[in-house]
Amino acid sequence: MTLRVDAGGVGNVQELRVTLPPIVGVRTLRPVIRDQQQFQGAILSGARTWEWILIAETPGVHTVPSIDLHFFDPDTEEYGSASTDALTFTSHGAAKLSQPAIEPVDVGPKPSGAIFGPTRMYSALTRDETPIRDERWFPWLLALPPILFALFILGAGAARRRDQRSATAGALQRQLLRSAEDALQANDPRSFYDRIVASVTHALDSRLGEPVGGLPHAALRTRLGSEGFDDDLVQRVINELEGADFARFAASGVSQDEMERCRQRTAAIVERIQRSRRKA
């Protein structure tokens, strides 16, 4: 059986995500995803289609749960969700019986085949007369304390430089947020959202140790997920970056109240990024 879900509208449909809930007694193959996008004037729109192959492993009536879709509406500048109705289908046939397990054969212990040498009536202990200073490992033993001391000095220096970089990154982060607040007070939406994007991007660069500003949003979502970032934090980062990109091209319709809410959300997101833990 093939299950198909279609979604379309204004915006980048490649950012839409749909998860099919598990179905008892049914094996679900990886979905096939098809995208259709087009520009009408300066507006991007399109449609995305998901197709799953459902394989019933037991006979009877099976229910496909409701599928939820979360999206951002650029007209209302709000987040929304939609869901499908639950579906049922009936499969016929008999369930495949599992193969009977093969009973192990009880094998008795093997007879011992140990062979011992001839019995000795006495033993003699010999002593090594070589001085310790003439052993080959003795120079390495003498060099061990200086090596450990040098490693300690290098480690302390690296920790000190890391703390200095962290302090510098924190100062730059605060400066970006202050610049965004100055643009808000000056009612300059384009400059404000430029600082918002720079603030979030700088926080991610500092946390990951590499620049991510040039990554598409889909690639950035995958990168943050592979680093062990919280799913809710990843979604908030992507939503804020997408909203800022949209607002920069529609700056005339942005109010100061919306910019203030965006500033507060960005400050909370930056704080969560700085406190997040990466995978070891």
Mind listing the pLDDT tens digit for each residue in 214-230? 889 899 899 898 888 88
Q: What is the pLDDT of residue 163?
A: 54
The answer to whether residue 200 sits within a structural domain is yes
The answer to whether residue 114 sits within a structural domain is no
Residues 84 and 160 in one domain: no
**Chosen domain end from 65, 91, 117:** 91
Q: What is the pLDDT of residue 236?
A: 93
The set of residues, in sequence order, having a beta carbon less than 8 Å from that of 151 and lying 6+ positions away, is none
Q: What is the pLDDT of residue 279?
A: 52
Tokens of 21: 């809930």
Residues 80 and 168 in one domain: no
Angle, CA of 42, 46 and 52, to the nearest 5° = 160
**For 101-105, what is the mean pLDDT?**
55
The answer to whether residue 131 sits within a structural domain is no
Residues 64 and 162 in one domain: no
Domain count for the chain:
2
**Res 280 pLDDT > 50:** no
- State whether the Cα torsion 268-175-211-262 is positive or negative: positive
Q: What pTM value is reported for the model? A: 0.40
Rounded to the nearest angstrom, the gap between the alpha carbon of residue 5 and the centroid of all alpha carbons in its chain is 25
Domain that holds residue 217: 155-275
Does residue 224 contact residue 234 with C-beta atoms inside 8 Å? yes
* pLDDT 10s digits, 166-197: 556 678 888 988 888 898 888 888 888 899 89
The answer to whether residue 136 sits within a structural domain is no
Q: Which residues pair with 2 in a beta bridge?
A: 53
Q: What is the pLDDT of residue 239?
A: 92
- Please state, rounded to an integer, the average pLDDT across all residues of the chain: 80
Q: What CA–CA distances, in Å, run from 154 to 141, 151, 187, 213?
A: 21, 5, 49, 32
Does residue 194 contact residue 248 with C-beta atoms inside 8 Å? yes
| Cα–Cα dist 120/33, whole Å | 80
**Res 277 pLDDT > 90:** no
The set of residues, in sequence order, having a beta carbon less than 8 Å from that of 8 and lying 6+ positions away, is 45, 46, 47, 48
- State whether the Cα torsion 191-195-197-198 is positive or negative: positive
The answer to whether residue 67 sits within a structural domain is yes
Residues 185 and 267 in one domain: yes
**Backbone dihedral angles phi then psi of residue 188, each to the nearest 5 degrees:** -115, 85
**For 88-98, what is the mean pLDDT?**
70
Q: What is the pLDDT of residue 261?
A: 92
**Looking at residue 251, which CATH number applies to its domain?**
1.20.120
**Chosen domain end from 36, 62, 91:** 91
Rounded to the nearest angstrom, the gap between the alpha carbon of residue 70 and the centroid of all alpha carbons in its chain is 19
The answer to whether residue 35 sits within a structural domain is yes
* pLDDT 10s digits, 227-274: 888 899 999 999 989 988 888 777 676 788 888 999 899 999 999 988
Q: Which residues pair with 162 in a beta bridge?
A: none
Q: What CA–CA distances, in Å, run from 106 to 100, 110, 188?
A: 18, 12, 84
**For 105-127, what is the mean pLDDT?**
60
The answer to whether residue 104 sits within a structural domain is no
**Chosen domain end from 91, 113, 141:** 91
